[in-house]
Structure 1
């Protein structure tokens, strides 16, 4: 049967069909002009829509809570709302497709991109994924679920081979993608950089064709991650539709010639081109001939949604009754995150927000200046604080560093991510020397540290004196593993004196990704005196709130953490403040777990993640009880780093060795690991306190044709309205194959008035009881008994029931 896509394809030459299969530039795909077709434009996500500019600066955009924060909400309906709002953001940037959501699992506690992913559990991740995609695509904007598959670490991520057994893939790592296809109907999927069981995912026919299209029935497109496609015939034959970004490297004329030589079947090109046309039609891009235009659309409704979602994500880890705070009395506001709004992680998810609200700003609005005192106490930066101000930028050919600039521009702040085109496009980002000139005026006298990271040889001069010499460049862990580690120099500066700053960077060809980037900073170190001053401030106030954690410098794409201790001297700061004032509340902002040696010494702990542009307001809403701490942990917080599932004497298990990372723990990630090995976590998966109390009762389970149905009653036994998450875990009593002790298979988020009881029913299909049978290549339930556990966390299981099931098998 011929449709209008076949008609279009019949009108296209081979070269025009091939044109659809690679980017025209960094963010767009052009259909053939001759046929009057439009351009498909994509934008990075998932916690906003940055638009078509660089990773730094550009048109402002709304910054939503990051992935792990959304995971902490345990609320698919809220994910749907956020997806719907993000569609409007994408449209404001003149785009048709959002590169989101990110749904890889929290295999380790140190993955630099855990902040961008939802959870350690596949079912929680799948439920949120479906909500997010349905909301986004309900407005005609395509989702691009990523990274498919096996990208659970940022170490050597562009080349590493993820060695994962098929059962673990099917039951864990592929599950969110399967739900995105079967339940949400996603229109886009992005392949990961890494190899999966020996083959790059962009060339992996088992993954992209057998599983994705033949078994799951996927009818959307598969695109590469940026520069993640390395070949012509292997990617085409495997089922990779779109190579990004443009201009093309392995398609274009090369693909045309491969077809003409018989190396690639013309039908393969036509099938991929058809997939692209269907996507463009679904999103309206096929007939969208409007000039590209981006606007900053700062909507009141979006502001309100972000603030509400930030509070819904905030997890109350412990509380001796100090929270919610009484509005009266004095408050010492302490810590490196108090006056800095930590709203997002680093990497391709970052954007230029409309605004950002720091905790200090929100507390000042609420309590007034007379009730507050402030002390930073210490720093927590990974790199020296960014050099801000206006800089002139000159671009020259790198082999002519003394020539007149071929292009000049300005930038606000010494941070740049340079992608083509530069000026008129004659100069490539890999063939350029970049010089920034500006000034710096310190506010304090004394020794300052000056640092720079860059993707090529670099240097920083103050008043023409060489302060930082990075010209002997060595590759490190910045800029997606294409940049050096920070090179630092020191200089004594005088407060109020203005110094001339000159920064130079010479481009080099990237090993895997092609761009030029730099970041320079300057800061005055803190020491014992600042911690002592913070303790004094705490002692003189009725209560102290310490804002600590990490930032997008630590929680970032392209670099894993080295441990889970708080950076710098933050542990010392908390200990000193708690010793000075027992009424101390700690507010953590991190993209994952941290060790807390001071947990027993503080009155309360809130985990606020990176909640988006309304960060300060969302945290204040929870601190004062205007909003319930609605979050529950989507990742287990171990007591110490060595307790986590990937800790091993075998470096191939983590961080990887000789080009391979081996998922030796199999199914035992997250809470499954702690269960099996009898390890007590600091805070378990699913944990989160309320400002009221809840009880579960009347648990029953009934078998039916589709699996089973679980019914239970949830009662608010406290004296105020609150939210909780009823969690359902399943155990097989006498498994015939090794299985985790229990697995999350259902949940319900509820808001109940004081004294209210509500009965909820949670369906469990056959898959909730099944395992992947490698021999039959399908899903299997063995006849026997299963125990259903109902609880408020993975360790707070309050009710149990048994059910007997018959044999069942299901296709992939």
Structure 2
């Protein structure tokens, strides 16, 4: 058994036991809400006075019985709902969640589906039900195109509605702080501005279908190993300037009906009973009117969670008990939770139901037809726009359709393209191939999966006159011989990542580095196509001619990759994460807690008593200097910087103009100086910060240009991206002064240099 397969088996075991094992170890202290805060049962900042949505929600709450209210604040996990007496099993769709509505008042039942990359059906709970599988979140972020994010969200939302779902657990905006993190592929990169814009447009697209989208996982949820026990430690200013800023901007721009709180602790309190995060930041400072739902298995208490701002317990069968049912009623009777707080919980849920238009445009009772072909076109467009050309020595790409012999090697390219694992897994139209392993109690939640979209078939279609041979790469000598006999060798390499487990290494598994070295040593043109969930190390980089970062490319990944290889599509993707040259360049070279997790797992599955443990503190030493900001501060030269990506044409920037003072606007010309039409993503960076200056992306724009065409690009900076957060005197501050900036193709590319002279600026939280 390979090391990767052993790791896969661990991931499956961890998921099956996670909710029971990790949660069972915790003591749940009951603490009071700080007296300095507004009471959690009152409307936020009295801002609802002139809000007709709030008025409608309030009117419905006044007509509801206590029993009806209590039904709305806890939801079922349909696969296990038969364990719960009285569960409305006949009305449930096998899926992520179900919340009982109030039919007599027109309040719909909420049918919830996982939805990061499409309408999920991970282990085929719904036999035969397929959906369109989008590329991974990082692939979407790599497009640097918010319009594509909207299209993808609108497509997922339309499919969900047609399948009678009305809540999508979408909108992942956690910043990717570590290259090895298992869920990086679902998220939108390391920069708060890029992540916020892309998440906001995806959420707006989902909710354009009159259904609810979440934004998740609130907050500081950057790793999977030990996610049920880790206590993320970060100072408030750093948190506000990084992950929280991404959430804040995305919420302001998209108005998601729900915020999903995370598994982990933040500065000592579980995220789903964290008064600072939920009551103070989200509901008071940001004036958020919607509801907070828990992640599945993330609730630890009744009184503390309710008073700290949690509005709905999700997937209750995965928690130790139903905290927001009879226990909540008892807490209200005892005066530990006010009746007004229960009303506020329900009012917020109804606010989301009304705001999105769901109550006025309920989802159909029966499934509706779906144009899967049109939706697949959206997935393919996104995949093509997100592919990043990392290396192209000597114009190795695009390949000529007249090539005589092509060797395609490895990566299961004969079958399809890799998918990330976990709750985002879509059973795509066209089929999937799965690799699950016998792992005791596992329910198969995590499976290594390929979408049936063969790059090999697409390459043969693109080069009909060529002899295209395929080898699986297991025999390196045979692969090298095939490469030597061909005009070009295309090696498909993979690195699988999944929810529930972080990667122990960012090396390519299963000796793929040796395979690439053997093929490149043949002396023939070698192209490497990477299907990965994030950064990987490339010790063979100097030996190959071209490298294409294809990510997890979704159900039309095969044709998308071939179109880029043969030049039908000019690559325009840009890296949304820094690729380190060495793992020790990252803030955390090893997954925190991985040895503890292994010990707990071994004890559990050897039928021994797991060692006693509680959460451990994990300081985020980089603070707000996430990703490229960390590399810049430390003076590290990465393998490939944030924002990097090549094209089959060339672009020139000129005529920089900076308008500053009270507001910062940067404009410049972009010219396609090459012979091909192509898209560019020019980026504007500024160095700011009083305590420790950091480099910050303040704007970008995706620009499509014909050869010789010039377009003026104008970027207006969001002040909070430039500002420091002052926790002592709460609010945002920009100090008057001069700030260096540049326009470039990526971090460190100072194609146009300038400075901004800004006036002092302040804003409340």
Which residue in the other structure is 1:470 paired with?
A: none
Q: Distance in 2 between matches of 1:649 and 1:57?
A: 37
1:675-696 Cα distance to aligned partner (Å, 9 max, x none)? 1222111111100000001111
Q: Secondary structure at the match of 1:206?
A: helix
Which residue in the other structure is 1:467 paired with?
A: none
Which residue in the other structure is 2:680 paired with?
A: 724
Within a 5 Å distance, the mapping from 1:115-130 to structure 2 comes to 115-130=185-200
Which residue in the other structure is 1:350 paired with?
A: 425
Of the three residues 387, 395, 415, the one matched with 1:340 is 415
How far does residue 294 in structure 1 lie from its aligned partner after superposition?
A: 4.7
Q: Distance in 2 between matches of 1:657 and 1:267?
A: 34
How far does residue 298 in structure 1 lie from its aligned partner after superposition?
A: 4.7
Q: Secondary structure at the match of 1:549?
A: strand
Of the three residues 389, 398, 403, the one matched with 1:324 is 398
- Alignment check: 8 A CA contact 2:143 2:574 kept: yes
1:394-443 Cα distance to aligned partner (Å, 9 max, x none)? xxxxxxxxxxxxxxxxxxxxxxxxxxxxxxxxxxxxxxxxxxxxxxxxxx
Which residue in the other structure is 1:512 paired with?
A: none
Q: Which of 336-345 and 760-769 deviates more?
A: 336-345
Which residue in the other structure is 1:549 paired with?
A: 494
Q: Distance in 2 between matches of 1:65 and 1:770?
A: 33
Q: Kindly indicate whether residue 564 of structure 2 is the aligned counterpart of residue 608 of structure 1.
A: no
Q: Distance in 1 between matches of 2:185 and 2:104?
A: 44
Q: Distance in 2 between matches of 1:635 and 1:81?
A: 23
Q: Secondary structure at the match of 2:62?
A: helix
Q: Distance in 1 between matches of 2:217 and 2:195?
A: 14
Q: Secondary structure at the match of 1:46?
A: coil
Which residue in the other structure is 1:251 paired with?
A: 324
- Alignment check: 8 A CA contact 2:225 2:594 kept: no
Q: Return the index of the structure with the highest Cα Rg.
A: 1
- Alignment check: 8 A CA contact 1:298 1:354 kept: no
Q: Once superposed, what is the RMSD of the aligned Cα atoms?
A: 2.3
How far does residue 663 in structure 1 lie from its aligned partner after superposition?
A: 0.4
Q: Distance in 2 between matches of 1:585 and 1:162?
A: 40
How far does residue 364 in structure 1 lie from its aligned partner after superposition?
A: 2.5
- Alignment check: 8 A CA contact 2:303 2:331 kept: yes
1:247-272 Cα distance to aligned partner (Å, 9 max, x none)? 67111121111111111100000011
- Alignment check: 8 A CA contact 2:536 2:579 kept: yes
Which residue in the other structure is 1:29 paired with?
A: 99
Distance change >3 Å, CA 336–CA 4, structure 1 → 2: closer
- Alignment check: 8 A CA contact 1:143 1:186 kept: yes
Q: TM-score, normalised by structure 2?
A: 0.82
Q: Secondary structure at the match of 1:208?
A: helix
How far does residue 281 in structure 1 lie from its aligned partner after superposition?
A: 2.9
How far does residue 283 in structure 1 lie from its aligned partner after superposition?
A: 4.5
- Alignment check: 8 A CA contact 1:55 1:351 kept: no
Which residue in the other structure is 1:94 paired with?
A: 164
Q: Which of 331-340 and 77-86 deviates more?
A: 331-340
Q: Kindly indicate whether residue 589 of structure 2 is the aligned counterpart of residue 647 of structure 1.
A: yes
Q: Distance in 2 between matches of 1:48 and 1:295?
A: 17
Q: Distance in 2 between matches of 1:3 and 1:211?
A: 24
Q: Distance in 2 between matches of 1:567 and 1:609?
A: 16
Q: Distance in 2 between matches of 1:660 and 1:212?
A: 23
- Alignment check: 8 A CA contact 2:297 2:316 kept: no
- Identify, as 1 or 2, the structure richer in strand: 1
Within a 5 Å distance, the mapping from 1:384-783 to structure 2 comes to 530-551=475-496, 555-647=497-589, 659-705=616-662, 707-732=663-688, 736-740=690-694, 742-783=695-736
- Alignment check: 8 A CA contact 2:226 2:594 kept: no
- Alignment check: 8 A CA contact 1:332 1:537 kept: yes
How far does residue 25 in structure 1 lie from its aligned partner after superposition?
A: 4.1
- Alignment check: 8 A CA contact 2:199 2:250 kept: yes
Q: Distance in 2 between matches of 1:694 and 1:302?
A: 32
- Alignment check: 8 A CA contact 1:786 1:804 kept: yes
Q: Distance in 2 between matches of 1:650 and 1:8?
A: 47
Q: Distance in 1 between matches of 2:595 and 2:677?
A: 45
1:720-743 Cα distance to aligned partner (Å, 9 max, x none)? 1111111000114xx531121x11
1:785-809 Cα distance to aligned partner (Å, 9 max, x none)? 1011110000222111112222211
Q: Distance in 1 between matches of 2:499 and 2:363?
A: 33
Q: Distance in 2 between matches of 1:765 and 1:11?
A: 43
Q: TM-score, normalised by structure 1?
A: 0.77
Q: Distance in 2 between matches of 1:549 and 1:140?
A: 38
Which residue in the other structure is 2:66 paired with?
A: 14
Within a 5 Å distance, the mapping from 1:42-441 to structure 2 comes to 42-50=112-120, 59-246=129-316, 249-283=322-356, 285-286=358-359, 293-294=366-367, 297-320=370-393, 321-328=395-402, 329-355=404-430, 356-368=452-464, 371-378=467-474
Distance change >3 Å, CA 770–CA 47, structure 1 → 2: same
How far does residue 582 in structure 1 lie from its aligned partner after superposition?
A: 2.9
1:655-700 Cα distance to aligned partner (Å, 9 max, x none)? 9996121101222221112212221111111000000011111112
1:735-759 Cα distance to aligned partner (Å, 9 max, x none)? 531121x111111111111111111
Distance change >3 Å, CA 657–CA 781, structure 1 → 2: farther
Q: Secondary structure at the match of 1:762?
A: strand
Q: Secondary structure at the match of 1:212?
A: helix
How far does residue 57 in structure 1 lie from its aligned partner after superposition?
A: 5.8
Q: Distance in 2 between matches of 1:598 and 1:53?
A: 37
Distance change >3 Å, CA 95–CA 534, structure 1 → 2: same
Q: Distance in 1 between matches of 2:555 and 2:697?
A: 32
Which residue in the other structure is 2:57 paired with?
A: 5
Q: Secondary structure at the match of 1:580?
A: coil
Q: Which of 281-290 and 100-109 deviates more?
A: 281-290
Distance change >3 Å, CA 629–CA 281, structure 1 → 2: same
Distance change >3 Å, CA 369–CA 160, structure 1 → 2: farther
Which residue in the other structure is 1:471 paired with?
A: none
Distance change >3 Å, CA 262–CA 154, structure 1 → 2: same
Count of residue pairs brought into register by the alignment = 654
Q: Secondary structure at the match of 2:715?
A: strand
How far does residue 93 in structure 1 lie from its aligned partner after superposition?
A: 2.0
- Alignment check: 8 A CA contact 2:124 2:427 kept: no
- Alignment check: 8 A CA contact 1:37 1:289 kept: no
Q: Secondary structure at the match of 1:743?
A: strand
- Identify, as 1 or 2, the structure richer in helix: 2
Q: Distance in 2 between matches of 1:53 and 1:14?
A: 36
- Alignment check: 8 A CA contact 2:389 2:547 kept: yes
Q: Distance in 1 between matches of 2:271 and 2:703?
A: 40
- Alignment check: 8 A CA contact 2:649 2:672 kept: yes
Q: Secondary structure at the match of 1:534?
A: helix
- Alignment check: 8 A CA contact 2:257 2:353 kept: no
- Alignment check: 8 A CA contact 1:582 1:603 kept: no
How far does residue 56 in structure 1 lie from its aligned partner after superposition?
A: 8.5
Q: Distance in 2 between matches of 1:623 and 1:654?
A: 44
Q: Distance in 1 between matches of 2:227 and 2:757?
A: 44
- Alignment check: 8 A CA contact 2:504 2:590 kept: no
